[in-house]
Structure formats: structure tokens, C-alpha cells
Amino acid sequence: MLSADRQSNWVHLIVNGLLNKGLVQYQDKDKALRAANRAMSSFIQEHNKIEQKVRQKITSLKRNVSENSTEWEVLYFRYYEEELSRSHLGRA
């Protein structure tokens, strides 16, 4: 989970970085920050949904898989990639 302060910090770093490198020009920087914040919030929500689905898949397996085990990691990344490809985050 990303705190509101940390999210705001990331958004400012991204927006300022794009501006400083001359990759974009903003007529209204506050509007750009609000748009970037909405996009970041949407991304985080979608990521959390995917993660929740993945955890559910792993815990619903008949065999008991310990969370910090190698098997958990392999299954987590495999299921995460599957769910990511199904979501709008996985489509470019």
C-alpha cells in the first residue's frame, strides 16, 4: 500500500522530471499534477485488485503453500503475469 504522501511525492517526481527534461510542456502544472495523481491512484487500485486475486488463487490451492517459500514466489509471479495480461494494465 502506498501512502498518500508517498504517492504525491512520486507524482511530483514524475511530473517535474518530464518537465525538466523537456519531454512535455504544461499550461497548468496543478492540472497536470491532479491528472497524474488520478492516473497513479487508478494504477494502484488495479494493482491491488490483481494482487488480491493472485493471493486468493494461491490460498485456494489444495496444497498448503507457505507465503515466503520459493513455491509461493513462483506461483505469485506466474499468476500475477496471467492476471496482469487480463487487466487493462497489461494492454498497451
pLDDT tens-digit series, residues 47-80:
999 999 999 999 999 988 989 899 999 999 999 9
Q: Which carries the bigger pLDDT value, residue 31 or residue 1?
A: 31
What is this structure's pTM?
0.76
Average pLDDT, the chain: 91
- Please answer whether residues 78 and 72 qualify as being in contact, where contact means their C-beta atoms are separated by less than 8 angstroms: no
Overall average pLDDT of the 19-46 stretch = 92
Amino acid at the residue 30 = D
Question: Is the pLDDT score of 92 beyond 60?
Answer: no
DSSP state of 24: -
Please state at what angle helix 29-59 crosses helix 70-86, rounded to 10 degrees. Answer: 130
Overall average pLDDT of the 8-20 stretch = 94
